[in-house]
Amino acid sequence: MKRLANLPPRTKRILFSVLLAFLLVFPFLDTGQANIDIAANCAAYAALALGLNIVVGFTGLLDLGYAAFFAIGAYAYGILNSYQLHPAWSNGWAPLAAIGFVAKLGAGAAATVHFTFPFWVMLPVSAVIAAGFGVAFGAPTLRLKGDYLAIVTLGFGEIVPIVVRNWSSLTNGAEGLNGVAPPSVFGHSFGIDSTPYYYVGLGIVLLLLFISQRLKPSRIGRAWMAIREDEIAAGAMGIHTTRLKLLAFAMGAGFAGLTGTFYIAKLQTATPDMFDLPVSIMVLVMIVLGGLGSVWGAIIGAVLLQLLQAWFLPELSAMVQALGNAVHSPFLSNLELTSASELIFGIILVTMMLYRRDGIVPASRNEVRLSFAQQDAAVSRGSLPAVERLSRASAQAAAAGAPAALAVRDLTVKFGGLTALKSVSLDVPAGGIVAVIGPNGSGKSTLFNSITGLVTPSGGSIDFAGHELIGQRPDQILRYGVARTFQNIRLFPNLTVMENVLIGQHTHLKAGPAGIVLGLGGVRAEEREAREFVLELLAMFGNRLIPRIDQGVAQLSYANRRRVEIARALATRPRLLMLDEPTAGMNPAESLELAEQIAGFRDLGLTVLLVEHKLDVVTRLADNVIVLDYGEKLAEGPADVVRRDEAVIEAYIGRGAVNA
Amino acid sequence: MTGSAIFLQQIINGVSLGAVYALLALGFTLVYGILELINFAHFSVFMVGAFVALVVLEAFGLQGQSVVMHGAPLVLVLLVALVVTMVASGALGVAIERYTLRPMRNVKGPMAMITTIGVSYILFNLVLLATNAQAINFPDPMPQASYHVGGVVIRLKEILIWIVSAVLMIGLNLFVKRTKLGKAMRAVAQDAEAARMMGVDVDNVVMIAFFAGSALAGAAGMIFGLYYNFAQYSIGYTAGLRAFTAAVLGGIGNVPGAMLGGIVIGLIETLGSQYIAARWADVIIFSILIGTLVFRPAGLLGMLAPNRS
């Protein structure tokens, strides 16, 4: 199956066409109504799985109350196209009656309203209603950490069926809605024939498949995956994580709502237990089986599990029971394997997690193998002027706003009883390179985290180009033009070099969900340009990264990962670039090469603040060096002056090093 | 019964129920404190514990409510059943950790949580199939003695539940606070890496946490069975979710918080059922869960969980 995902696009298209042709003629193969009905149910669950895949697979948010949105979509249609509600007729209903959304029952004062909202109208409306509930449930909870979110969604997943059970006047309680009208086309009702439902289901799956496929490699899909891979790094790259999580949640809910309407129209009844926790778990099992984040995996997982329940287990039970009757074994003749389906779900979950976490159709591509020529090639040096866009961007920003100077005043950070930074002040002039050095634990990374909004200081101020940074979200700070790398490298490990650097451009791209799904020209041009910019940026490192552009970053060497992280930070078109130990893990030659490149950033108009341990790199680069020790500023000045400072030698450099 | 007597009676019922939730909540809190993992398998360990106790009590020849014992034999039988149940549940917890969760220890994202859901589902459905989804009558050898205090009835059973729960909770608290292993546990909860460097066997600590939490869940299962006189495959889910709410309400990772949260949730359940409506009790409890997470994620007594970024 993994190989299937790596077939050339042409072969994939042919396979897809053959599959589609088969699915289109399937009802005419005369395999019986029951099989068509099973296929229609497969479609419903595939649609559900595609929605949950956006939430869990793309964005990494475990949603255990997904069936609630299925229920909301189902009841929205069920209530608005059945005899459940029958308010007294008044002339206010006349406009709705005129377009066929309601009908008048009876006459005179006893007349009541009969809701007949058409199925085709309710499909999108239910999606919107469910998405609205998704936003309402998600807005207060999505800023919670991932594991808490799971439990909150579980709570909502419980509350919705309870409300449905208890609010009898609206939902007919535990008995369920009856007499939900089937859809009709030009006055021909679908009735109970499975074939039309099959085609509608197929259409829904194709639509949702198309939407998923379009979103995945887009600005939005990448942001979702960035959140999944590393939420803190995603925020630091300018992604408004709460908003994007909400979008994923709402979109998944919308898919479920739409499917709910389809499902209920097909069944023509709805009871609360159709939407309890086991349904949410079943859909989760489907996408785990198929492969989290894999669009085709979601569909295949859904179809397999539906076939397991609706066809394989009953057939197997019948066979075992026949065998039991033949050998006169009461145990075998009474064995009902269908009741073991949930046990099988549990086994699937555990087995997949332990042995095949990527599912049967893994979402991530195979690694691109480097040719011998590429592996053997002498390392070439790139050139900075190639990054023309970058200098243009920084020139524009400089012309537009205040100079890109950073001023930190009396910054104090406390973690419980520990004071990590104590009244530290420092300046980074626009266009300057300032280095912060100091022993481990002296507060260098805390300083970086305070500037980029990951840590909330307890006092002081941080001003960048006229903006106060304290109290701002990391993504807002990035928008002001402050980008950073992390000491322990926070790339998005399961994404490629290209995708990682593209995510850096998140704030500079504008594509919205509608534009992406419709494939508007502007969106495509923007995407093309973004990819070109990635190539330009990577060319800065010569042939070190370009041949590996489609490799997962987890496969790269440590030094190359540092380079990707720097490229990703540059892709945000920053005015202030903050590098946390950029040369860590590089050999002396590589370190000096990078130092030259950093010096080149200044020529592009960037301001640089770096934490660095290698004093030769610091001496070479920095106009000014700030020494931190125990959270306090110990010394400040040009590198050669600081190097001779008695206190600095004592605290950091060590006497032996100087004497030697 | 007068209004105030009803109120007091519900308080007593609530505390008994809350003791069960508190014992169960401790397991969530211990594991979350160390691994930052919501262990859904805990739900089913509780349920399996109830069945283990049922089997042990029946092995003593106790069927339903027919046999009533007194004095030393009663205490002995209950004690043996409790110990066997706790050891068996603890072993189940350790096995779950060792074979399904340890391989997932360093996997990011919701993977480990999904695994615990799978484990929980497996246990749940095994018991469902084995019992034909029926509720099973739970042996109750205790004499139906009760004490009338100011119009309120306190049953012997309740007193026993309070004593056992209190002993177990105090024992756990002492274990975490006073023993070397307990100290290692707190160290791992703060920073597993640093603890490892200081010579703490992290795997061992995780195992102990699973054993202790699961053993308490087993005890809670037995108490549940004795209190309600039945055991069923589905008891783990409802009780588990409420106990989790209790752990969150008290401040997840916080041992006294779990106890406090358990009692509070028990009281809310009984008082809510009395004065609002039983059918809305779950809505109230889940609203508390969501409300706590949204407005006061640290819970009543503050969260004590590893601070990983």
* Domains and their CATH numbers in chain A: 2-81+117-355 (1.10.3470), 388-404+415-659 (3.40.50.300)
- Residue A232 sits at the chain B interface (C-beta within 8 Å): yes
Which residues, 6 or more positions from A262, have their beta carbon under 8 angstroms from its beta carbon?
A44, A47, A123, A197, A200, A201, A204
Question: Measured between beta carbons, which residues in chain B are less than 8 angstroms from residue A293?
Answer: none
> Which is nearest to A622 in space by CA: A650, A595, A593?
A595
DSSP states of A348-405 as a string?
Answer: HHHHHHHH-TT-SS-SSPPPPPPPHHHHHSPP----STT-HHHHHHHHHHHHHSS---
Q: How far is A449 from chain B (nearest CA, A)?
A: 11
Contacts of A354 in chain B (CB under 8 A): 100, 103-104, 115
Highest mean pLDDT pick, A297-301, A379-383, A391-395, B236-240: A297-301
Distance separating alpha carbons of residues B17 and B25, to the nearest angstrom = 12
For testing the chain B interface, which of A353, A357, A452, A491 should be mutated: the one with the most B CBs within 10 Å?
Answer: A353
User: Quick one: which of B95, B136, B135 has its CA closest to B119?
Assistant: B95
Contact with chain B for residue A206, Cβ under 8 A? no
Say yes or no for a CB contact (<8 Å) between A62 and B114: yes
Contacts of A140 in chain B (CB under 8 A): 290, 294
Taking CB atoms and an 8 Å cutoff, what residues of chain A touch B110?
Answer: 56, 60-62, 146-147, 150
Q: Is residue B300 part of a domain?
A: no
**Partner-chain contact B103 A354, CB within 8 Å:** yes
Sorted by sequence, the CB contacts under 8 Å of residue A203 that are 6+ apart come out as none
- How high is the pLDDT of residue A12? 87
pLDDT band per the 50, 70, 90 thresholds, residue B307: very low
Q: How much is the pLDDT for B309?
A: 38
In angstroms, the Cα distances linking A370 to A251, A499, A543, A548 are 38, 18, 12, 7
In this structure, is residue B303 part of a structural domain?
A: no
Contacts of B298 in chain A (CB under 8 A): none
pLDDT for position A223: 96
| Mean pLDDT, chain A, integer | 88
Which is higher by pLDDT, B309 or A416? Answer: A416
* pLDDT averaged over every residue in chain B: 88
Secondary element (H or E) of residue A633:
strand A632-637
Residues 6 or more apart whose Cβ sits within 8 Å of residue A140: B290, B294
Mean pLDDT of A345-369: 83
B28: contact with A, CB 8 A cutoff? no
Position A380, amino acid: S
How many Å apart are CA A464 and CA A95, to the nearest integer? Answer: 58
Rounded CA separation A314/B284 (Å): 40
Residue B309 lies in a domain: no
Amino acid identity, position B17: L
Mean pLDDT of A491-510: 92
**CA atoms A302, A307, A310, A313: torsion sign:** negative
Residues A155-162, mean pLDDT to the nearest whole number: 88
What's the pLDDT score for residue B149? 80
Q: Is B114 on the interface with A (CB under 8 A)?
A: yes
Is residue A485 within 8 Å of A580, Cβ to Cβ?
Answer: yes
Q: What is the pLDDT of residues A42-65, one digit of tens each?
A: 999 999 999 999 999 999 999 999
Inter-chain touch A140–B294, beta carbons under 8 Å: yes
Length of chain B: 309
Q: Which of A62, A339, A347 sits opposite B129 (nearest CB)?
A: A339
**pLDDT of the residue at B231:** 93
Is the Cβ pair A151, B244 closer than 8 Å?
yes
Report whether B101 contacts B16 (CB < 8 A). Answer: no
The whole-angstrom distance between A508's CA and the closest CA on chain B is 27
Q: Which of A97-101, A219-223, A453-457, B101-105 has the lowest mean pLDDT?
A: A97-101
Count of CB atoms within 10 A of residue B39's CB? 30
Q: State both tokens at A233.
A: 């790094």
Mean pLDDT of A402-409: 86
pLDDT at B209 over 70: yes
**Residue B1: its pLDDT value, please?**
62
Please indicate whether, in this complex, the C-beta atoms of B241 and A144 are within 8 angstroms of each other: no
Q: Is A360 left (phi over 0), alpha (psi -120 to 50) or beta?
A: alpha
- Tell me, what's the pLDDT at B4? 83
Q: Cβ–Cβ of B113/A162 closer than 8 Å?
A: no
CB contact at 8 A, A509 and A526: yes
User: In chain B, what residues touch A150 (CB-CB under 8 Å)?
Assistant: 38, 110, 113
Most confident listed range (B2-11, B106-115, B120-129, B285-294) = B120-129
Nearest to B126 among A152, A281, A343 (CB): A343
Q: How far apart are CA B3 and CA A23, in angstroms?
A: 67
Q: Would you state the structure tokens that stand for residue B58, as one six-digit string? A: 């029946």
Residue B10 located in a structural domain: yes
Query: In total, how many domains does chain B have?
Result: 1
Q: Can you tell me the distance from the alpha carbon of A451 to that of A577, in angstroms, rounded to the nearest whole number?
A: 11
pLDDT digits (tens, 9 = 90+) for A79-121: 998 888 888 888 888 888 888 888 888 888 888 888 889 999 9
Please state the rounded mean pLDDT for residues A208-225: 95
Grade residue B303 by pLDDT with cuts at 50, 70 and 90: low
Interface predicted TM-score of the whole assembly (ipTM), two decimals: 0.90
In whole angstroms, give the CA distance from residue B112 to residue B93: 15
Would an 8 Å CB–CB cutoff place A144 in contact with chain B? yes
Q: Cα(A172)–Cα(A185) distance, rounded to whole angstroms?
A: 28
Q: Does the pLDDT value for residue A375 go beyond 90?
A: no
Looking at residues A363-377, what average pLDDT do you find?
65
How far, in Å, are A22, A49, A281, A512, B70 from residue A134 at the CA level?
A: 36, 16, 18, 19, 57
Contacts of residue A156, Cβ cutoff 8 Å, sequence gap at least 6? A65, A68, A137, B286, B290
A60, A345, A364 from A294: Cα distances, Å: 12, 19, 8
Write the single-letter amino acid at A61. L
- Backbone dihedral angles phi then psi of residue A270, each to the nearest 5 degrees: -145, 125
What pLDDT is stored for residue A140 in this prediction?
A: 81
- Statement: residue B308 has pLDDT above 50: no
Q: What is the mean pLDDT of residues B8-19?
A: 90
Residue A573 has phi, psi (to 5 degrees) of: 55, 60
Contacts of B290 in chain A (CB under 8 A): 140-141, 152, 155-156
Question: Closest partner residue to B129 among A281, A343, A350, by Cβ?
Answer: A343
Alpha helices in A112-217 (DSSP H): 119-141, 146-166, 168-171, 194-215
* Alpha-carbon distance B102 to nearest alpha carbon in chain A (angstroms): 10
Q: Is residue B301 part of a domain?
A: no
Q: Mind listing the pLDDT tens digit for each residue in B32-80?
A: 888 888 899 999 999 999 999 999 999 988 887 777 777 788 889 999 9
> Tell me, what's the pLDDT at A660?
40
A659 pLDDT above the threshold of 50 = no
Distance from C-alpha of A141 to C-alpha of A132, rounded to nearest angstrom? 14
| CATH number of the domain within which B24 lies | 1.10.3470
Q: B128 is in which domain, residue-wise? A: 3-295
Q: Where does the pLDDT of residue A490 fall: very low under 50, low under 70, confident under 90, or very high at 90 and above?
A: very high
pLDDT reported for residue B290: 84
Mean pLDDT of B163-169: 91
Beta-carbon separation of B286 and A158 below 8 A: yes
Q: Using the Cα atoms of residue A351, residue A43, residue A164 and residue A145 in order, give the sign of their dihedral.
A: positive
Q: Which of A339 and B100 is assigned the larger pLDDT? A: B100
> A159 CA to chain B: closest CA distance, Å?
6
Cα gap A311→B140, rounded to integer Å: 45
| Furthest-apart CA atoms within chain A: distance in Å | 107
Q: Is any Cβ of chain A less than 8 angstroms from the Cβ of B103?
A: yes
| CB contact (8 A) between residue A152 and residue B121 | no
Provide the pLDDT confidence category of residue B301 given band limits of 50, 70 and 90: confident
Q: Which residues of B touch A165 (CB under 8 A)?
A: 279
Contacts of residue B289 in chain A, CB cutoff 8 Å? Answer: 151-152, 155
Residue B3 at interface with chain A, using a CB cutoff of 8 Å:
no
For residues B280 and B300, what is the distance between their CA atoms, to the nearest angstrom?
23
Tokens in use for A335? Answer: 């064995």
A342 and B CB contact within 8 Å: yes
Residue of B122, B242, B287 to mutate for A, most A C-beta atoms under 10 A: B122
- Which pTM value belongs to this model? 0.90
User: CA of B204, closest CA in chain A: separation in Å?
Assistant: 21
Partner-chain contact B287 A159, CB within 8 Å: yes
Answer yes or no: do A158 and B282 touch at CB < 8 A. yes
Characterise B133 by phi-psi region: left (phi > 0), alpha (psi -120 to 50), beta (else). left
Kindly state whether B280 is in contact with chain A, defined as any CB-CB distance less than 8 angstroms.
yes
- Which of B108, B122, B297 lies at the smallest CB-CB distance from A350? B122
Domain-located, residue B75 = yes
At A8, list the tokens: 């050339």
A260 band by pLDDT with thresholds 50, 70 and 90: very high
Question: Mean pLDDT throughout A442-466?
Answer: 91
**Which residues, other chains included, contact B274 with Cβ-Cβ below 8 Å and sequence gap of 6+?**
B6, B7, B10
Neighbour-count burial for A518-544, b at 16+ CB within 10 Å, e otherwise: eeeeebeebbeebeebbebbbbbbbbb
Stretch 194-223 of chain B: residues touching chain A, C-beta under 8 Å? none
Residue A323 CB-half CA count within 13 A: 10
Residue A28 scores a pLDDT above 70 = yes
For residue A438, which of A572, A586, A632 has the smallest C-alpha distance?
Answer: A632
Cβ–Cβ gap A162/B114 under 8 Å = no
CB proximity list for B71: less than 8 A, separation 6 or greater: none
Q: Kindly tell me if the per-residue pLDDT of A547 is higher than 70.
A: yes
Residue B210 near residue B96, CB atoms below 8 Å: yes
Asked if residues A431 and A599 have their Cβ atoms less than 8 Å apart, the reply is: no
> Using a CB-CB distance cutoff of 8 angstroms, which residues of chain B are in contact with residue A147?
36-38, 110, 113
β-bridge pairing A607-611 and A433-437: parallel
A335 touches chain B (CB under 8 A): no
Mean of the pLDDT values across residues B154-183?
88
Give B 122-141 residues with CB within 8 A of chain A: 122-126, 128-129
**Cβ-Cβ contacts under 8 Å for A28 (sequence gap 6 or more):** none
Q: Which of A506, A608, A600, A544 is nearest to A218 (CA)?
A: A506
Strongest mean pLDDT among A140-154, A429-443, B150-164, B218-232: B218-232
CA pair distance B98, B86, nearest whole angstrom: 18
Give the pLDDT of residue A51: 96
